[in-house]
Chains A and B, each alone.
Chain A
Amino acid sequence: MRGSTIAALCIVALFAVVNIYLVAAGVLPADSQGLGIIIAAGLTLAIYSFLYKDNPFYRFAEHLYVGIGMGYIIIRSYYDVIKPKVIDALFSPPVGESPSLLVIPPLFFGILLFSRFFPRQAWISRWSFAFFVGMGSGLAIPRTVKSLIMRQVEATIRPVQFFSPIGDFNWMALATIIAIIGVFCVLVYFFFSIEHRGPLRNISKVGVWFLMIAFGAAFGYTVMGRISLLIERVQFLLTDWLHITMR
Protein backbone atom coordinates (compact mmCIF):
# COMPACT_ATOMS: atom_id res chain seq x y z
CA MET A 1 0.00 0.00 0.00
CA ARG A 2 1.36 3.43 -0.89
CA GLY A 3 2.36 5.84 1.87
CA SER A 4 -0.23 8.41 0.84
CA THR A 5 -3.01 5.79 0.98
CA ILE A 6 -1.92 4.72 4.47
CA ALA A 7 -1.81 8.36 5.57
CA ALA A 8 -5.31 8.95 4.16
CA LEU A 9 -6.68 5.90 5.94
CA CYS A 10 -5.09 7.03 9.20
CA ILE A 11 -6.68 10.47 8.85
CA VAL A 12 -10.10 8.95 8.16
CA ALA A 13 -9.68 6.63 11.15
CA LEU A 14 -8.70 9.58 13.36
CA PHE A 15 -11.74 11.55 12.16
CA ALA A 16 -13.98 8.58 12.97
CA VAL A 17 -12.45 8.13 16.43
CA VAL A 18 -12.85 11.85 17.25
CA ASN A 19 -16.51 11.80 16.22
CA ILE A 20 -17.26 8.60 18.10
CA TYR A 21 -15.74 10.20 21.19
CA LEU A 22 -17.72 13.45 20.70
CA VAL A 23 -21.02 11.59 20.37
CA ALA A 24 -20.27 9.13 23.19
CA ALA A 25 -19.26 11.98 25.52
CA GLY A 26 -22.51 13.83 24.72
CA VAL A 27 -20.68 16.79 23.18
CA LEU A 28 -22.50 16.21 19.89
CA PRO A 29 -26.16 15.17 19.95
CA ALA A 30 -26.91 11.68 18.65
CA ASP A 31 -29.56 12.91 16.21
CA SER A 32 -29.85 14.40 12.72
CA GLN A 33 -28.20 17.63 13.87
CA GLY A 34 -25.22 15.76 15.31
CA LEU A 35 -24.91 13.75 12.09
CA GLY A 36 -25.15 16.98 10.12
CA ILE A 37 -22.34 18.59 12.12
CA ILE A 38 -20.12 15.54 11.60
CA ILE A 39 -20.79 15.47 7.86
CA ALA A 40 -20.28 19.23 7.53
CA ALA A 41 -16.98 18.98 9.44
CA GLY A 42 -15.84 16.06 7.27
CA LEU A 43 -16.68 17.88 4.05
CA THR A 44 -14.95 21.04 5.34
CA LEU A 45 -11.78 19.12 6.12
CA ALA A 46 -12.01 17.32 2.75
CA ILE A 47 -12.00 20.67 0.94
CA TYR A 48 -9.10 21.96 3.06
CA SER A 49 -7.11 18.81 2.27
CA PHE A 50 -6.55 20.40 -1.15
CA LEU A 51 -4.13 22.81 0.54
CA TYR A 52 -1.75 19.89 1.03
CA LYS A 53 -2.36 18.49 -2.42
CA ASP A 54 -5.15 17.44 -4.79
CA ASN A 55 -6.70 14.20 -3.59
CA PRO A 56 -9.84 12.04 -4.01
CA PHE A 57 -11.52 13.41 -0.86
CA TYR A 58 -11.33 16.95 -2.22
CA ARG A 59 -12.52 15.85 -5.68
CA PHE A 60 -15.46 14.00 -4.17
CA ALA A 61 -16.48 17.01 -2.05
CA GLU A 62 -16.07 19.37 -5.00
CA HIS A 63 -18.28 17.29 -7.29
CA LEU A 64 -20.82 16.75 -4.54
CA TYR A 65 -21.04 20.53 -4.15
CA VAL A 66 -21.65 21.02 -7.88
CA GLY A 67 -24.38 18.37 -7.95
CA ILE A 68 -26.23 19.60 -4.88
CA GLY A 69 -25.86 23.21 -5.97
CA MET A 70 -27.50 22.44 -9.30
CA GLY A 71 -30.31 20.55 -7.58
CA TYR A 72 -30.95 23.43 -5.20
CA ILE A 73 -31.10 25.99 -8.02
CA ILE A 74 -33.53 23.79 -9.98
CA ILE A 75 -35.86 23.53 -6.98
CA ARG A 76 -35.70 27.25 -6.18
CA SER A 77 -36.28 28.19 -9.85
CA TYR A 78 -39.26 25.87 -10.04
CA TYR A 79 -41.01 26.70 -6.77
CA ASP A 80 -40.21 30.43 -6.65
CA VAL A 81 -40.60 31.33 -10.32
CA ILE A 82 -41.92 28.71 -12.73
CA LYS A 83 -44.67 27.29 -10.51
CA PRO A 84 -46.23 30.58 -9.32
CA LYS A 85 -45.69 32.55 -12.53
CA VAL A 86 -46.44 29.91 -15.14
CA ILE A 87 -48.10 26.76 -13.79
CA ASP A 88 -50.35 28.37 -11.19
CA ALA A 89 -51.08 31.33 -13.48
CA LEU A 90 -52.28 28.96 -16.21
CA PHE A 91 -53.85 26.09 -14.29
CA SER A 92 -54.59 27.35 -10.75
CA PRO A 93 -55.37 31.06 -10.98
CA PRO A 94 -56.62 32.86 -7.83
CA VAL A 95 -60.32 32.49 -7.07
CA GLY A 96 -62.36 34.78 -9.29
CA GLU A 97 -59.64 35.22 -11.90
CA SER A 98 -59.29 33.52 -15.27
CA PRO A 99 -56.07 31.77 -16.39
CA SER A 100 -53.46 34.30 -17.52
CA LEU A 101 -52.83 33.64 -21.22
CA LEU A 102 -50.15 36.34 -21.21
CA VAL A 103 -47.69 33.81 -19.76
CA ILE A 104 -47.85 31.75 -22.96
CA PRO A 105 -45.40 33.88 -25.02
CA PRO A 106 -42.59 33.78 -22.38
CA LEU A 107 -43.35 30.10 -21.77
CA PHE A 108 -42.99 29.54 -25.53
CA PHE A 109 -39.68 31.45 -25.64
CA GLY A 110 -38.46 29.62 -22.52
CA ILE A 111 -39.17 26.20 -24.01
CA LEU A 112 -37.47 27.22 -27.27
CA LEU A 113 -34.25 27.67 -25.28
CA PHE A 114 -34.04 23.88 -24.92
CA SER A 115 -33.54 23.57 -28.68
CA ARG A 116 -29.88 24.30 -27.94
CA PHE A 117 -29.50 20.64 -27.05
CA PHE A 118 -30.37 19.56 -30.60
CA PRO A 119 -27.57 20.76 -32.93
CA ARG A 120 -29.68 20.92 -36.09
CA GLN A 121 -32.47 22.86 -34.39
CA ALA A 122 -30.28 24.96 -32.10
CA TRP A 123 -30.90 28.07 -34.23
CA ILE A 124 -34.48 28.21 -32.91
CA SER A 125 -33.13 29.30 -29.51
CA ARG A 126 -31.91 32.49 -31.17
CA TRP A 127 -35.47 33.86 -31.05
CA SER A 128 -35.49 33.52 -27.26
CA PHE A 129 -32.03 35.04 -26.88
CA ALA A 130 -32.92 37.88 -29.22
CA PHE A 131 -36.05 38.67 -27.21
CA PHE A 132 -34.23 38.52 -23.89
CA VAL A 133 -31.10 40.37 -24.99
CA GLY A 134 -33.04 42.99 -26.95
CA MET A 135 -35.32 43.69 -23.97
CA GLY A 136 -32.34 43.83 -21.62
CA SER A 137 -30.52 46.27 -23.91
CA GLY A 138 -33.54 48.57 -24.16
CA LEU A 139 -33.98 48.41 -20.41
CA ALA A 140 -30.30 49.15 -19.77
CA ILE A 141 -29.67 52.18 -21.97
CA PRO A 142 -31.67 54.99 -20.30
CA ARG A 143 -31.06 53.72 -16.78
CA THR A 144 -27.31 53.32 -17.29
CA VAL A 145 -27.08 56.80 -18.78
CA LYS A 146 -29.01 58.27 -15.87
CA SER A 147 -27.41 56.42 -12.94
CA LEU A 148 -23.87 55.73 -14.07
CA ILE A 149 -23.12 58.65 -16.36
CA MET A 150 -25.29 61.65 -15.58
CA ARG A 151 -25.42 61.23 -11.79
CA GLN A 152 -21.70 60.50 -11.56
CA VAL A 153 -20.66 63.34 -13.87
CA GLU A 154 -23.01 65.73 -12.08
CA ALA A 155 -21.40 64.83 -8.74
CA THR A 156 -17.96 65.49 -10.21
CA ILE A 157 -18.63 68.94 -11.69
CA ARG A 158 -20.41 70.57 -8.77
CA PRO A 159 -19.13 74.06 -7.76
CA VAL A 160 -16.34 73.84 -5.19
CA GLN A 161 -16.88 75.93 -2.07
CA PHE A 162 -13.42 77.06 -0.94
CA PHE A 163 -14.74 79.23 1.89
CA SER A 164 -17.65 78.73 4.25
CA PRO A 165 -20.27 81.52 4.66
CA ILE A 166 -18.34 82.77 7.72
CA GLY A 167 -15.02 82.93 5.87
CA ASP A 168 -13.28 79.77 7.11
CA PHE A 169 -11.24 77.84 4.57
CA ASN A 170 -13.01 74.63 3.61
CA TRP A 171 -10.38 71.88 3.56
CA MET A 172 -12.88 69.48 1.98
CA ALA A 173 -12.65 71.65 -1.13
CA LEU A 174 -9.11 70.34 -1.61
CA ALA A 175 -10.41 66.80 -1.38
CA THR A 176 -13.03 67.65 -4.01
CA ILE A 177 -10.33 69.07 -6.31
CA ILE A 178 -8.29 65.88 -5.87
CA ALA A 179 -11.35 63.81 -6.76
CA ILE A 180 -12.02 65.88 -9.90
CA ILE A 181 -8.37 65.52 -10.96
CA GLY A 182 -8.56 61.78 -10.28
CA VAL A 183 -11.69 61.22 -12.38
CA PHE A 184 -10.27 63.23 -15.26
CA CYS A 185 -6.85 61.56 -15.22
CA VAL A 186 -8.26 58.02 -15.04
CA LEU A 187 -10.66 58.76 -17.90
CA VAL A 188 -7.69 60.02 -19.93
CA TYR A 189 -5.78 56.83 -19.11
CA PHE A 190 -8.65 54.70 -20.44
CA PHE A 191 -8.87 56.71 -23.67
CA PHE A 192 -6.89 54.39 -25.93
CA SER A 193 -7.97 55.87 -29.26
CA ILE A 194 -5.00 58.27 -29.33
CA GLU A 195 -1.41 57.63 -28.35
CA HIS A 196 -0.44 58.82 -24.90
CA ARG A 197 2.42 61.21 -25.70
CA GLY A 198 3.68 64.42 -24.13
CA PRO A 199 1.25 66.04 -21.64
CA LEU A 200 -1.27 63.25 -22.25
CA ARG A 201 1.33 60.73 -21.05
CA ASN A 202 1.84 62.59 -17.78
CA ILE A 203 -1.90 62.96 -17.19
CA SER A 204 -2.32 59.26 -17.91
CA LYS A 205 0.47 58.48 -15.42
CA VAL A 206 -1.39 60.37 -12.69
CA GLY A 207 -4.44 58.31 -13.66
CA VAL A 208 -2.40 55.15 -13.11
CA TRP A 209 -1.44 56.36 -9.63
CA PHE A 210 -5.11 56.84 -8.77
CA LEU A 211 -5.83 53.36 -10.12
CA MET A 212 -3.04 51.90 -8.00
CA ILE A 213 -4.60 53.53 -4.93
CA ALA A 214 -7.96 51.99 -5.85
CA PHE A 215 -6.41 48.56 -6.42
CA GLY A 216 -4.47 48.76 -3.17
CA ALA A 217 -7.70 49.55 -1.35
CA ALA A 218 -9.40 46.68 -3.18
CA PHE A 219 -6.64 44.32 -2.11
CA GLY A 220 -6.99 45.37 1.52
CA TYR A 221 -10.73 44.78 1.43
CA THR A 222 -10.33 41.51 -0.49
CA VAL A 223 -7.94 40.16 2.14
CA MET A 224 -10.52 41.02 4.78
CA GLY A 225 -13.24 39.31 2.79
CA ARG A 226 -11.41 36.07 2.19
CA ILE A 227 -10.00 35.83 5.71
CA SER A 228 -13.53 36.32 7.12
CA LEU A 229 -14.78 33.32 5.18
CA LEU A 230 -11.94 31.22 6.58
CA ILE A 231 -12.55 32.45 10.13
CA GLU A 232 -16.21 31.43 9.95
CA ARG A 233 -15.30 27.89 8.88
CA VAL A 234 -12.59 27.58 11.53
CA GLN A 235 -15.01 28.82 14.18
CA PHE A 236 -17.56 26.23 13.00
CA LEU A 237 -14.95 23.48 13.38
CA LEU A 238 -13.76 24.69 16.78
CA THR A 239 -17.11 25.74 18.27
CA ASP A 240 -19.87 23.67 16.68
CA TRP A 241 -17.87 20.49 16.04
CA LEU A 242 -15.13 20.26 18.68
CA HIS A 243 -16.69 22.62 21.27
CA ILE A 244 -13.28 23.99 22.28
CA THR A 245 -13.55 27.79 21.85
CA MET A 246 -14.00 30.25 24.67
CA ARG A 247 -17.07 32.38 23.77
Chain B
Amino acid sequence: MIFWKRTLPLAIAFCFGVLMLVIYFVPHQISRTIEDQMSRWGQIISAFALVVGLASLLNMHITRIRRRVAGWGYSAVTITALVVYTVLGFISAGSAKSDTLFGWGYNWVYVPLMSTMFSVLAFFIASAAYRAFRARSVEASILLVVAVVVMLERVPLGAYITDAIPQTAQFIMQIPNMAARRAIFIGIALGVVATSLRIILGIERAYLGGGD
Protein backbone atom coordinates (compact mmCIF):
# COMPACT_ATOMS: atom_id res chain seq x y z
CA MET B 1 0.00 0.00 0.00
CA ILE B 2 2.96 2.32 0.73
CA PHE B 3 3.90 1.96 -2.94
CA TRP B 4 0.54 3.34 -4.16
CA LYS B 5 0.27 6.00 -1.46
CA ARG B 6 3.80 7.34 -1.35
CA THR B 7 6.28 5.79 -3.76
CA LEU B 8 4.17 6.12 -6.90
CA PRO B 9 3.32 9.83 -6.37
CA LEU B 10 6.99 10.61 -5.68
CA ALA B 11 7.98 8.71 -8.81
CA ILE B 12 5.36 10.60 -10.87
CA ALA B 13 6.66 13.94 -9.56
CA PHE B 14 10.25 12.91 -10.33
CA CYS B 15 9.57 11.62 -13.84
CA PHE B 16 7.47 14.55 -15.04
CA GLY B 17 9.67 17.10 -13.25
CA VAL B 18 12.81 15.77 -14.92
CA LEU B 19 11.00 15.51 -18.26
CA MET B 20 9.96 19.18 -18.21
CA LEU B 21 13.45 20.19 -17.07
CA VAL B 22 15.28 18.20 -19.76
CA ILE B 23 13.10 19.17 -22.74
CA TYR B 24 13.84 22.87 -22.06
CA PHE B 25 17.41 22.17 -23.14
CA VAL B 26 16.58 19.97 -26.14
CA PRO B 27 15.92 22.14 -29.22
CA HIS B 28 14.19 19.41 -31.18
CA GLN B 29 10.67 19.30 -32.57
CA ILE B 30 9.85 16.32 -30.34
CA SER B 31 10.56 18.34 -27.21
CA ARG B 32 8.32 21.14 -28.51
CA THR B 33 5.56 18.60 -29.09
CA ILE B 34 5.97 17.15 -25.59
CA GLU B 35 6.01 20.62 -24.04
CA ASP B 36 2.86 21.57 -25.93
CA GLN B 37 1.07 18.38 -24.90
CA MET B 38 2.15 18.64 -21.25
CA SER B 39 0.96 22.24 -21.15
CA ARG B 40 -2.48 21.11 -22.38
CA TRP B 41 -2.58 18.45 -19.68
CA GLY B 42 -1.62 21.07 -17.09
CA GLN B 43 -4.41 23.38 -18.28
CA ILE B 44 -7.05 20.66 -18.03
CA ILE B 45 -5.94 19.59 -14.55
CA SER B 46 -5.83 23.25 -13.45
CA ALA B 47 -9.48 23.65 -14.43
CA PHE B 48 -10.42 20.57 -12.42
CA ALA B 49 -8.34 21.80 -9.47
CA LEU B 50 -10.26 25.08 -9.56
CA VAL B 51 -13.56 23.23 -9.47
CA VAL B 52 -12.33 21.01 -6.62
CA GLY B 53 -11.36 24.11 -4.67
CA LEU B 54 -14.81 25.57 -5.16
CA ALA B 55 -16.44 22.27 -4.23
CA SER B 56 -14.42 22.28 -1.04
CA LEU B 57 -15.72 25.76 -0.17
CA LEU B 58 -19.24 24.57 -0.98
CA ASN B 59 -18.74 21.56 1.29
CA MET B 60 -17.74 23.90 4.12
CA HIS B 61 -20.95 25.89 3.76
CA ILE B 62 -23.11 22.76 3.56
CA THR B 63 -21.50 21.51 6.77
CA ARG B 64 -22.28 24.82 8.46
CA ILE B 65 -25.94 24.48 7.48
CA ARG B 66 -26.12 20.85 8.55
CA ARG B 67 -24.64 21.63 11.96
CA ARG B 68 -26.73 24.80 12.35
CA VAL B 69 -23.70 26.81 13.49
CA ALA B 70 -24.17 30.51 14.26
CA GLY B 71 -24.82 32.39 11.01
CA TRP B 72 -25.76 29.26 9.03
CA GLY B 73 -28.45 31.28 7.24
CA TYR B 74 -25.74 33.20 5.44
CA SER B 75 -24.26 29.93 4.20
CA ALA B 76 -27.69 29.17 2.76
CA VAL B 77 -27.49 32.52 0.93
CA THR B 78 -24.11 31.50 -0.51
CA ILE B 79 -25.31 28.12 -1.70
CA THR B 80 -28.54 29.50 -3.14
CA ALA B 81 -26.61 32.19 -5.02
CA LEU B 82 -24.14 29.59 -6.31
CA VAL B 83 -26.81 27.20 -7.53
CA VAL B 84 -29.03 29.85 -9.10
CA TYR B 85 -26.16 31.65 -10.82
CA THR B 86 -24.60 28.42 -12.11
CA VAL B 87 -27.96 27.33 -13.56
CA LEU B 88 -28.32 30.74 -15.22
CA GLY B 89 -24.81 30.32 -16.61
CA PHE B 90 -25.66 26.97 -18.18
CA ILE B 91 -28.93 28.36 -19.56
CA SER B 92 -27.04 31.17 -21.29
CA ALA B 93 -24.33 28.70 -22.44
CA GLY B 94 -21.63 30.71 -20.69
CA SER B 95 -22.41 33.96 -22.48
CA ALA B 96 -22.29 36.99 -20.17
CA LYS B 97 -23.85 39.37 -22.66
CA SER B 98 -26.06 42.02 -21.08
CA ASP B 99 -29.25 40.54 -22.57
CA THR B 100 -28.83 37.32 -20.55
CA LEU B 101 -29.66 36.90 -16.86
CA PHE B 102 -26.15 35.51 -16.35
CA GLY B 103 -24.69 38.69 -17.86
CA TRP B 104 -27.08 40.87 -15.87
CA GLY B 105 -25.98 39.16 -12.65
CA TYR B 106 -22.32 39.61 -13.60
CA ASN B 107 -22.69 43.35 -14.40
CA TRP B 108 -25.05 44.41 -11.62
CA VAL B 109 -24.32 42.01 -8.75
CA TYR B 110 -20.90 40.34 -9.02
CA VAL B 111 -18.83 43.23 -10.38
CA PRO B 112 -20.25 45.86 -7.96
CA LEU B 113 -19.89 43.49 -5.01
CA MET B 114 -16.29 42.58 -5.78
CA SER B 115 -15.26 46.16 -6.58
CA THR B 116 -16.83 47.43 -3.37
CA MET B 117 -15.32 44.69 -1.19
CA PHE B 118 -11.84 45.71 -2.28
CA SER B 119 -12.54 49.44 -2.11
CA VAL B 120 -13.37 49.21 1.62
CA LEU B 121 -9.64 48.80 2.22
CA ALA B 122 -9.14 52.47 1.28
CA PHE B 123 -10.76 53.55 4.54
CA PHE B 124 -8.68 51.15 6.60
CA ILE B 125 -5.46 52.18 4.92
CA ALA B 126 -6.18 55.82 5.81
CA SER B 127 -6.97 54.83 9.38
CA ALA B 128 -3.84 52.68 9.62
CA ALA B 129 -1.69 55.46 8.16
CA TYR B 130 -2.97 57.86 10.81
CA ARG B 131 -2.55 55.49 13.75
CA ALA B 132 0.58 53.55 12.89
CA PHE B 133 2.70 55.68 10.59
CA ARG B 134 5.03 57.23 13.15
CA ALA B 135 8.66 58.32 12.69
CA ARG B 136 9.89 56.48 15.78
CA SER B 137 13.24 55.49 14.27
CA VAL B 138 15.55 56.32 11.37
CA GLU B 139 14.15 53.45 9.32
CA ALA B 140 10.53 54.47 9.98
CA SER B 141 11.38 58.06 9.04
CA ILE B 142 12.89 56.94 5.73
CA LEU B 143 9.75 54.92 5.00
CA LEU B 144 7.53 57.87 5.92
CA VAL B 145 9.35 60.47 3.81
CA VAL B 146 9.51 58.20 0.76
CA ALA B 147 5.82 57.31 1.11
CA VAL B 148 4.83 61.00 1.21
CA VAL B 149 6.98 61.86 -1.83
CA VAL B 150 5.57 58.94 -3.83
CA MET B 151 2.00 59.75 -2.77
CA LEU B 152 2.48 63.32 -4.04
CA GLU B 153 4.02 62.10 -7.30
CA ARG B 154 1.13 59.70 -7.90
CA VAL B 155 -1.31 62.58 -8.31
CA PRO B 156 -1.12 65.54 -10.76
CA LEU B 157 -0.56 67.89 -7.80
CA GLY B 158 3.04 66.73 -7.39
CA ALA B 159 4.11 67.86 -10.87
CA TYR B 160 1.95 70.98 -10.50
CA ILE B 161 3.82 72.08 -7.34
CA THR B 162 7.31 71.43 -8.72
CA ASP B 163 9.02 69.12 -11.20
CA ALA B 164 11.40 68.10 -8.41
CA ILE B 165 8.68 65.89 -6.86
CA PRO B 166 8.14 63.58 -9.86
CA GLN B 167 11.89 63.60 -10.60
CA THR B 168 12.71 62.60 -7.01
CA ALA B 169 10.00 59.93 -7.02
CA GLN B 170 11.26 58.56 -10.35
CA PHE B 171 14.78 58.36 -8.94
CA ILE B 172 13.47 56.60 -5.82
CA MET B 173 11.53 54.06 -7.90
CA GLN B 174 14.23 53.43 -10.51
CA ILE B 175 17.25 53.16 -8.25
CA PRO B 176 16.85 52.26 -4.55
CA ASN B 177 13.40 50.68 -4.94
CA MET B 178 14.55 48.75 -8.01
CA ALA B 179 17.71 47.59 -6.20
CA ALA B 180 15.78 46.30 -3.18
CA ARG B 181 13.19 44.57 -5.38
CA ARG B 182 15.92 42.99 -7.49
CA ALA B 183 17.56 41.54 -4.40
CA ILE B 184 14.17 40.23 -3.25
CA PHE B 185 13.60 38.68 -6.71
CA ILE B 186 16.96 36.94 -6.61
CA GLY B 187 16.22 35.62 -3.12
CA ILE B 188 12.77 34.40 -4.15
CA ALA B 189 14.14 32.81 -7.32
CA LEU B 190 16.78 30.91 -5.35
CA GLY B 191 14.01 29.73 -3.03
CA VAL B 192 11.81 28.64 -5.95
CA VAL B 193 14.66 26.71 -7.56
CA ALA B 194 15.61 25.04 -4.28
CA THR B 195 12.03 24.08 -3.47
CA SER B 196 11.37 22.82 -7.01
CA LEU B 197 14.47 20.65 -6.87
CA ARG B 198 13.41 19.31 -3.48
CA ILE B 199 9.98 18.44 -4.88
CA ILE B 200 11.42 16.65 -7.91
CA LEU B 201 13.89 14.73 -5.75
CA GLY B 202 11.17 13.74 -3.29
CA ILE B 203 12.67 15.60 -0.31
CA GLU B 204 9.78 18.08 -0.11
CA ARG B 205 6.53 16.12 0.34
CA ALA B 206 4.12 18.67 1.81
CA TYR B 207 2.05 18.66 -1.39
CA LEU B 208 1.15 15.02 -0.69
CA GLY B 209 -0.98 16.20 2.21
CA GLY B 210 0.32 14.26 5.18
CA GLY B 211 -0.59 10.78 6.46
CA ASP B 212 1.58 7.85 5.30
Contact = CB atoms under 8 A, between A and B. Distances in A.
Chains A, B in direct contact (C-beta < 8 Å) = yes
Nearest to A35: B108
A209 interface: yes
A138 B25 CA distance: 12
Interface in A4-62: 32, 35-37, 39-40, 43-44, 47-48, 50-51, 59-62
B172 A144 contact: no
Contacts of B186: 148-149, 152-153, 183, 187
Please tell me the size bucket of the interface on A.
Answer: 35 or more
A71 B138 CA distance: 50
A246 interface: no
Given A126-B208, A139-B20, A210-B180, A216 B89 contact: no
Contact of B115 (A51, A149, A233): A233
Contacts of A80: 94
A141 interface: yes
B108 A37 contact: yes
Contacts of A132: 42, 45-46, 49
A113 B49 contact: yes
B207 A175 contact: no
A122 interface: yes
B187 A214 contact: no
B80 A67 contact: yes
Nearest to B86: A71
Contacts of B6: 126
B178 interface: yes
Contacts of A142: 21, 24-25
B196 A213 contact: no
Given A72-B106, A217-B147, A134 B116 contact: no
Nearest to B79: A67
Contact of A141 (B50, B107, B116, B196): B196
Contacts of B196: 136-138, 140-141, 144
A82 B200 CA distance: 28
Contacts of A242: none
Interface in A93-123: 102-103, 105-107, 109-111, 113-114, 116-117, 122-123
- Residue with the greatest number of chain B CB neighbours at <10 A, chosen from A62, A175, A216: A216
B22 to A, nearest CB: 8
Contacts of A110: 44-45, 47-49
Interface string B165-178: 00000011111111
A74 B20 contact: no
- Residue with the greatest number of chain B CB neighbours at <10 A, chosen from A153, A187, A208: A187
A226 B77 CA distance: 28
Contacts of A102: 37, 40
A148 B115 CA distance: 32
A202 interface: no
A137 B176 contact: no
Given A71-B84, A187-B183, A216-B146, 20 more contacts: A44-B116, A47-B116, A47-B120, A67-B81, A69-B114, A70-B54, A70-B78, A71-B82, A71-B83, A102-B40, A113-B45, A116-B56, A131-B16, A136-B196, A148-B188, A148-B189, A152-B182, A213-B180, A220-B146, A221-B150
Interface of A: 32, 35-37, 39-40, 43-44, 47-48, 50-51, 59-82, 85-86, 102-103, 105-107, 109-111, 113-114, 116-117, 122-123, 125-145, 148-149, 152-153, 155-156, 175, 178-187, 190, 207-217, 219-224, 226-227, 229-230, 232-233, 236
30 contacts: A44-B112, A47-B120, A63-B74, A65-B114, A68-B81, A72-B89, A73-B50, A75-B89, A79-B94, A82-B47, A85-B43, A86-B44, A109-B48, A113-B49, A126-B6, A131-B12, A134-B199, A137-B13, A137-B196, A142-B24, A145-B193, A183-B186, A186-B183, A187-B187, A213-B180, A216-B142, A219-B129, A220-B147, A229-B122, A236-B112
